[in-house]
Amino acid sequence: MAIAPMTAEFASATPHSDAFGQWEALMQRTFVPLAVHPYADRPFYGRVVTGALAGAPDCHLTTLTGRNHEFRRDTGHIARSGEQYLLAGIQTEGRARLNQDGRSALVLPGQMTFFDTSRPYHWTEGERFGQVNVQVPIRLLRELPGLGRLAMPTAVTLPAGGAAGVVAAFFRDLARLQQDAPDQADLLARGALDLFGSAVLLAAGTAPVDTPGEALHREHVMAFLRENYTDADLTADEIAAACHISRRTLFRLFGGPGESLHTVLRRLRIRHAEELIARGRFDAPAAVAFASGFASERHFYRVFHQETGMTPREYRQTHLA
């Protein structure tokens, strides 16, 4: 019998609101006890669609989208939990970073990573994100071939291509089908647990990319940037000094493909500008530029068009339509 998915959606103009409290409570019921942290002075949004996987007891498939908040699970949450799970996070929109077991995994659209609820974790970079999450009890995984004593792989990014990409695409499409045609989704989901186990084995053979120290330093830098990115005069030397690291370490932390310190700071500023334009906070593009941390209106126009494919005026018209 098909299980109808549960759908819920919350939004508010301010982070600390009844809507946000209801969202945090729903996230705890949907997944496990955890804390949800809003970004100060930014509008909050969250939407979830979840349902059980046919033929896989206590396994769930959840589609999660949101803006301007992140998730943390600590030892206190773990102590209050019963069942422990391994989850696969398959990115569908935006980007997110998982910090667990001293590693830090940046997950881009089409990519997948695993996280274990029996140990603390922290999902960051939640300005805008979309994920499909596959949630499987660890006790069930232990019964699958090859997984009995395997150390569960966490915070390792699996690429969109290759075998891992096939698994990620299957669960991503299954989540869509679960919403549109649950009976058909039930038929396809009957082999999902074995497929999930195969993905775990693939992840276990992938070497992590970050050291524990780098993961902690990067998280510290990102917290500082989220608080200070609207300062147009912010320099790399100031960021390094505020985070108690060297300039060389700072640039090494953001040395991944398409992920320089400059691009991260620019992305934060553009997301802020999008929010200001969509909410009609300023009429003049120059005011949006300066409020978002850009030193000049001309630079803001160029970067905004590169990031969004639209001018600020076109973006405003799209959101007012």
Mean pLDDT (whole number) for 29-34? 94
Indicate whether this model's pTM tops 0.75. Answer: no
Overall domain count for the chain: 2
Q: Is the pLDDT of residue 209 over 70?
A: no
Distance between CA atoms of residues 88 and 136, nearest Å: 9
Q: Tell me: do 179 and 306 sit in the same domain.
A: no
Mean pLDDT (whole number) for 143-147? 84
Q: 216 pLDDT band (50/70/90 cuts)?
A: low
Q: Is the pLDDT of residue 214 over 70?
A: no
Q: Is the pLDDT of residue 218 over 90?
A: no
Q: Give the pLDDT confidence of 298-312 residue by residue, as tens digits.
A: 999 999 988 888 888
Mean pLDDT (whole number) for 255-274? 81
Number of alpha carbons in the 13 Å side-chain half-sphere of residue 147: 23
Q: 207 pLDDT band (50/70/90 cuts)?
A: very low
Q: Is the pLDDT of residue 262 over 50?
A: yes
Per the structure, the complete domain to which residue 126 belongs is given by: 6-204
Query: Would residue 1 count as lying in a domain?
Result: no
| CA-based max dimension of the chain | 62
* The domain boundary residue, chosen from 188, 204, 220: 204
Q: 200 pLDDT band (50/70/90 cuts)?
A: very high
Q: Tell me: do 169 and 49 sit in the same domain.
A: yes
**CATH number of residue 301's parent domain:** 1.10.10.60
pLDDT for 5: 67
* The domain boundary residue, chosen from 184, 204, 224: 204
Mean pLDDT (whole number) for 200-216? 65
Task: Please report where in the chains the tokens 């009844």 appear, as a residue.
Answer: 18
Q: Tell me: do 13 and 118 sit in the same domain.
A: yes
pLDDT for 3: 45
- In 3D space, the residue among 279, 284, 285, 299 whose CA is nearest the CA of residue 232 turns out to be 299
Mean pLDDT (whole number) for 189-209? 79
Distance between CA atoms of residues 66 and 55, nearest Å: 29
Q: Tell me: do 71 and 90 sit in the same domain.
A: yes
Distance between CA atoms of residues 224 and 247, nearest Å: 15
Mean pLDDT (whole number) for 63-73? 95
- Total residues found in the chain within this entry: 321
pLDDT for 71: 96
Give the type of residue at 62.
T
Query: Would residue 253 count as lying in a domain?
Result: yes
Q: Tell me: do 22 and 170 sit in the same domain.
A: yes
Q: Tell me: do 186 and 37 sit in the same domain.
A: yes
Q: 320 pLDDT band (50/70/90 cuts)?
A: low
